[in-house]
Amino acid sequence: MDSFRKIDIDVFDEDVLLETELYDPDPREPSQVLDDAKAKAAAVRSSLSKGDIPGALSAVLDNAPYGPNVDDAKTLTLQTLVTILNSTKSSDVSNIVKSLSQDQQDTLMKYIYKGTAMPGWGDVSGSVLLGWHEKLTEAAGIGCIVRTMTDRRIV
Amino acid sequence: MSGPEVHSLSPSPITSHAFNGDRSLLAVSLNSNDVTIYSRQGKEWEVTDTLSEHDKLITSIDWAPNSNRIVTASQDRNAYVWQESQDTLTGKVVWKPTLVLLRVNRAATFVKWSPNEDKFAVATGARAIAICSYDSENNWWVSRHLKKPIRSTVLSVDWHPNNVLLAAGSADMKARVFSAYIKDVDSRPPPSVWGERLPFNTVCGEYSSPSGGWVHAVGFSPSGDVLAFASHDSSISIVYPGGPAIYTIKLNSLPYVTLAWTAEDSLVAAGHDCQPIAFSGSAGGWQLVGTLDDTSSSKSSGGTRGFGGVGSGVGRLNSAAFHTFRQADSRGSGSPTSATGSGGTDTELLTVHQNTITSIRPFSGSADRVAQVSTTGVDGRLVIWNVNNVVELTGKMGALRVQ
């Protein structure tokens, strides 16, 4: 009876607003994005071995992959980020998030939300993510969460 | 210095408000199909008139100060211009509506008179802005549409002081500056930072919100050389078209939905954060100065409720509702009264406005030196603020940076 509600009316609208028009695309080629992500993963491993967590975090949060056709790079970046988050002492979290730039804080919040949406994936741990979320919200405010929700450049 | 002047007009939300030229009359839309006109009686506002013609919610009202005409926009896809005239039967002076031929198939969302009051712009959900001018032969208002390259509902518009340029913020996450030049009405505008030749629908500038938020509010500075817009990604951007840059301030708080310039170097914005926030700056950079709502004084004596740090993330999260949920979660106490103790009063905010501020307008002073602004909001209150009573948010706002 309600089947008409499932009709995709956008198909009949020639002036429809497409997902791709909502944000500026990443200027890099998908293959280059993946290479960048791999390079960053390696850099993060070496930073972590030296105990340089803020350095590792800002490396992975700058130029994070977004948009279509870069799923491999996105997965790799999330994996790298989760490794960093899991290997940070909870007492250090507060100072680390305060040292990030505002753009980095916004990107970190996106990954925290992405991680909490994938329970049980890889090394994702809900309690670690919630701990980071609390400290990040203290530092960056709810504005940071609002930007995570509005931004179409999904990581 | 005196505190803000607070008037509780109605229990229902106020969608929009506009004062007449000498600020003795006030037109508001109380979330209904009618315009309610209040007149100032001493310290109170009394209802004196109701304008009924729209048959859906009125979204926006603007009152031309010199020609004393009201224009209203509504979800019924119409706009009316109201003018005082003498009723031929009773001899009383009444507000008479004139229909505006908008020719749109979606709601009208926002309306604004041009500075010369000879035309007005109606923002609509039909991906268009109707620029309306009077056709004396037919006694109605005709419209021309600004369409390209708008991709979604237009949420707000603002006129440049030269009566030709129009800024528009829309749900396609962009703020734009258009030419709304109409041959029969306008003389050729002098060249400005926005361009020299300006035929109708010239796009003089297009600016994206920094993190993909709808652009809720736009405003030209008093000189018209600077544009500010507030978007739903909790940010406010100030554009200098001729260079050097766009300054973006990302906020720690909830997004703003309305803004007003108070001088060439300062503006006030308000929205879901329930308090007006002042910004100041110049071509060299912009920063948040503080709030007009001094939450730390008088009202905060009301208790140690968690809303003390309005504007700071953690303060917000410690609100009464948060406590209620946490109690329910950790102790299993389901009834809200047992968690909050004294019942309903715990939902009171420390800010003067108790809900989202939906519109802010200059109230007194000149355009380039506004002394007071008025705000109305979802809480049904009208508040008049002194622009100079700015209280710092230092400490509460945490790390706030300008890029």
**HEC readout, A46-95:** HHHHCCCHHHHHHHHHCCCCCCCCCHHHHHHHHHHHHHHHHCCCCCCHHH
Q: Is the pLDDT of residue A73 over 70?
A: yes
B307/B258 same-domain check: no
Closest A-chain CA to B311: A141
Cβ of B232 and A146 within 8 Å? Answer: yes
B334 and B240 together in one domain = no
| pLDDT value at residue B304 | 33
Nearest CA distance, B398 vs chain A (angstrom): 6
Indicate whether B142 belongs to any domain: yes
Domains assigned to chain A: 28-150 (1.25.40.190)
Query: Which of B211, B253, B316 is the closest to A106 by Cβ?
Result: B211
Is A102 touching B (CB cutoff 8 A)? Answer: yes
Could you give the ipTM of this predicted complex?
0.88
**A14 in contact with chain B, both atoms CB, cutoff 8 A:** no
pLDDT score, position B100: 94
| CB contacts, 8 Å: B128 with chain A | none
Among the partner-chain residues B214, B311, B313, the one whose CB lies closest to the CB of A140 is B313
Rg (CA), chain B: 22
Partners of residue A151 in chain B, C-beta under 8 Å: 211-212, 233
Residue B230 lies in a domain: yes
B82 and B41 in a common domain: yes
Q: Which residues of B touch A (CB under 8 A)?
A: 127, 151-152, 172-173, 208, 211-214, 232-235, 250-255, 311-314, 316-317, 397-399, 401, 403
Residues B72 and B141 placed together within one structural domain of the fold:
yes
Q: Which residue of B has its CA nearest to A139?
A: B398
In this structure, which amino acid lies at residue B342? Answer: S
pLDDT tens per residue, range B60-74 = 999 999 999 999 999
Nearest C-alpha neighbor of B127 from the set B107, B112, B100: B107
Confidence of residue A20 (pLDDT cuts 50, 70, 90): confident
Give residue B308's pLDDT: 35
Contact A144 B397 (CB under 8 A): no
Say if the Cβ atoms of A137 and B399 lie within 8 Å: no
Q: Measured between CB atoms, does A28 come within 8 Å of chain B? A: no
pLDDT 10s digits, A102-124:
999 999 999 999 999 998 888 89
Question: Is B317 within 8 Å of A142 when comparing Cβ atoms?
Answer: yes
Q: Least CA distance to B126: which residue of chain A? A: A15
* Count of domains observed in chain B: 2
CA distance A101 to chain B (A): 9
Residue with tokens 């970190």: A108
The CATH code of the domain that includes B162 is 2.130.10.10
User: B338 with B243, same domain?
Assistant: no
The residues with which B166 forms a beta bridge, in sequence order, are: B159, B178
Interface test with A, best of B150, B211, B312, B356 (most A CBs within 10 A): B211
C-beta atoms surrounding A45 within 10 Å: 13
Answer yes or no: do B306 and B367 share one domain: no
Whether B215 and B305 share a structural domain: no
Residue B399: inside a domain: no
What is the residue range of B231's domain? 5-296+357-386
Whether residue B325 is found in the same domain as residue B369: no
Structural domain includes residue B396: no
Give domain status of residue B394, yes or no. Answer: no
Indicate which of B215, B236, B252 best probes the interface with A, i.e. most A CBs within 10 Å of its own CB. B252
The reply to whether B186 and B49 lie within a common domain is yes
Sort out which chain B residues have CB atoms less than 8 A from A142's CB and list them. 234, 252-254, 313, 316-317
Query: Residue B313 is nearest to which of A101, A102, A141, comparing CB atoms?
Result: A141
Is A150 within 8 Å of chain B by CB?
A: yes
Say yes or no: B178 and B238 in one domain.
yes
A20, A137, A147, A149: best to mutate for the B interface, most B CBs within 10 A: A147
CA pair distance B333, B325, nearest whole angstrom: 9
Is A22 close to B211, i.e. CB distance below 8 A?
Answer: no
- Whether B269 is covered by a domain: the verdict is yes
Q: Are residues B263 and B340 in the same domain?
A: no
What residues of A are in contact with residue B311 (Cβ under 8 Å)?
Answer: 141
Residue of A nearest to B212 (CA): A151
Q: How close A44 gets to chain B, by Cα (Å)?
A: 26
A:B CB pairs within 8 Å: 85
Residue numbers in A near B172 (CB within 8 A): 17, 21-22
In a domain, B380, yes or no: yes
Taking an 8 Å cut-off on Cβ atoms, the answer to whether A142 and B234 are in contact is: yes
pLDDT for res B269: 97
The whole-number pLDDT of residue B395 equals 44
Contacts of B234 in chain A (CB under 8 A): 142-144, 146-147
Residue A136 vs residues A10, A89, A107, B369: alpha-carbon distances, Å: 39, 15, 11, 39
pLDDT (tens place) for every residue of chain B, 403 residues total:
578 999 999 999 999 999 999 999 999 999 999 999 999 998 999 999 999 999 999 999 999 999 999 999 999 999 999 999 998 888 899 999 999 999 999 999 999 999 999 999 999 999 999 999 999 888 889 999 999 899 999 999 999 999 999 999 999 999 999 999 999 899 888 899 999 988 999 999 999 999 999 999 999 999 999 999 999 999 999 999 987 689 999 999 999 999 999 999 999 999 999 999 999 999 999 999 999 998 765 443 333 333 333 344 444 555 677 777 777 777 776 654 443 444 445 577 889 999 999 999 999 999 999 999 999 999 999 999 999 999 987 544 433 434 3
Would you call B254 and A151 a contact, using CB atoms and an 8 Å cutoff? no
pLDDT tens digits for B131-184?
A: 999 998 888 899 999 998 999 999 999 999 999 999 999 999 999 999 999 998
Q: Assess A101–B contact: CB distance below 8 Å, yes or no.
A: yes
Regarding whether B264 and B328 lie in a shared domain, the answer is: no
| Cβ <8 Å between B316 and A142 | yes
